[in-house]
Chain A
């Protein structure tokens, strides 16, 4: 099964930022939306936000507004999620997941990346 390829694990100090990348082998993000979902240790799945590359529109979950920036580089088939002002409770595995259509709504998420562990610790 095709899987998105994410960048490796990161360790950051509280207050700093992290940028995670996601690559779609053999395809582009020109037409499909991309979401980022996180999973804290032992916890469930939480949608962070997403981007509609066709219109360069982003949507973020309210709790991350002002701290997260999701972008794509359509020419290199990469998507990025940057999270700033990191806190210890941001420690989680962050997944990228591609929508089955151009919009974040009304589409399923598949495939997913393998996940990137971000650890926030002093």
Chain B
């Protein structure tokens, strides 16, 4: 079946630091890959997505590249801000169904 493994948190960084949150997946076929973010007190929001191998999703300075050879979709940002503090979820769907499979989430805290 499908599964997503992501970097355990919590992660604490200083403002302007470089961020990487690792995500690897197991799936049959050709999944679509997503990063969702949950800010304090808010619902899950799509941050970025990639639907085929070598695609790069990007939004708000965050990037992730769909690597089929390593089954990975690591999230990166060059310079984090306090406002990036949130819980980040890696997720996938498979062609032919609508079920998102989520990782366990990584809590990120940015210190000024």
Partners in one complex: no
Q: State the A residues within 8 Å of B (CB).
A: none
Interface residues of B (CB under 8 A from A): none
